[in-house]
Amino acid sequence: MSWVGRLAVAALVWGALASGVVAQSASPLPPGNITLLVAFPPGGPLDVVARIFADKVGARTGRAVIVENRPGAAGNVGAGALARAEPNGLTWMASVDSLWTVNPHLGAAPNFDVDKDIAVVGQMGQVILMLAVHPKVEAKNWAELLALSNRRSLNFGSAGIGSPGHLALEYLKMVAPLDAAHVPFRGAAPALTELLAGNIDGAFIVAGVMLDHVQLGKVRALAVSDTARLAKFPDVPTSNEAGIGDFVARFTNILAVPGKTPEPIRAFVTGEISAVLGMEDVKKRFDAIGTEMLATGEAETRAWIVQERARWGKVVKARGLKVP
């Protein structure tokens, strides 16, 4: 090879090395795998969202993103693990927003401060719940369910104390005279299994995952907890249309890092949320599991927490809810 050729090859090699250095320096994370803690059990909507997100982040960063479920105490177990982790950008956590908006009102005394020891970086998807009952329940609409609860005791399941389904039920009982006992399970998947089996009368379940069950007649949908009907369920009334009144229960998935994580790293993680949730295939996969697209930054997420913490605090106080 001529000296001109050798110079050309050297230039290409140095150019590739230089571009690699630039690409690596664009990420403020240190070398290593990323651990994504999930504060709720496997199989639920949050777990599915977290795993979709982890796969995409892994592909984008060229790193392994290891998902670890750390359920327990309505998200406090996973949050405690995050609070103790090194703030180096290699440990993230996905949780339902109730960790911030509900748990502080429940009387628990975790060994961390949810506002100081954990830093939220953004929201990644929003869920709307459906009020559903098993077909054996002698009620085809909200009015009939309310009347039935006056004749016999009902039981409604949820993913556990302080979970979205539990909070929605207690909120409903605050605005309407429904007599229904709460039956907590260890996750959303077991609660849905028990509902389909007819072992509980009803539950508030993420609406999007109910499409096949509703169409096959395995459950009866009475209302969605929002102000507008859902495209997948055009025949299912909103809470107001069903006669419940002004009843809205939305919950979001929040991504967080340890509280002392530097701002450049937090900004990087927020950017990953925006990038991943902007992908068309991710939108389709979120739609399939009933999660509506929502990607926000730190400021919007903190504003949501302030607003919802005040709202759910009123429900917790009115219903006298406490951690057992």
Task: List 295's β-bridge partners, or say none.
Answer: 124
Question: Do 187 and 40 meet the contact criterion of CB atoms below 8 Å apart?
Answer: yes
Query: Could you say which residues of the chain have pLDDT below 50?
Result: 1-25
- Position 232 scores a pLDDT of 85
Q: What is the mean pLDDT of the chain?
A: 89
- Position 52 scores a pLDDT of 97
- Position 182 scores a pLDDT of 95
Q: What's the DSSP call for residue 30?
A: P
Distance of CA 232 to the CA centre of its chain: 20
| CATH 3.40.190.150-classified regions of the chain | 31-125+252-319
Buried b (16+ CB within 10 A) or exposed e, 20-44: eeeeeeebbbeeeebbbbbbbbeeb
| CATH 3.40.190.10-classified regions of the chain | 128-242
CATH class of the domain defined by 31-125+252-319:
alpha beta
One-letter amino acid at 162 equals: G
- Position 324 scores a pLDDT of 64
For the domain 128-242, what is the CATH code? 3.40.190.10
pTM as predicted:
0.83
Question: How far apart are the C-alpha atoms of 192 and 109, rounded to whole Å?
Answer: 30
Buried b (16+ CB within 10 A) or exposed e, 95-126: bbbbbbbbbbbbeeebebebeebbbbbbbbbb
**Beta strand residue intervals within the chain, DSSP E:** 34-38, 65-69, 91-96, 118-133, 154-158, 180-184, 202-206, 220-224, 250-258, 291-295
One-letter amino acid at 324 equals: P
- Of 247, 242, 213, the C-alpha closest to 140 is 242
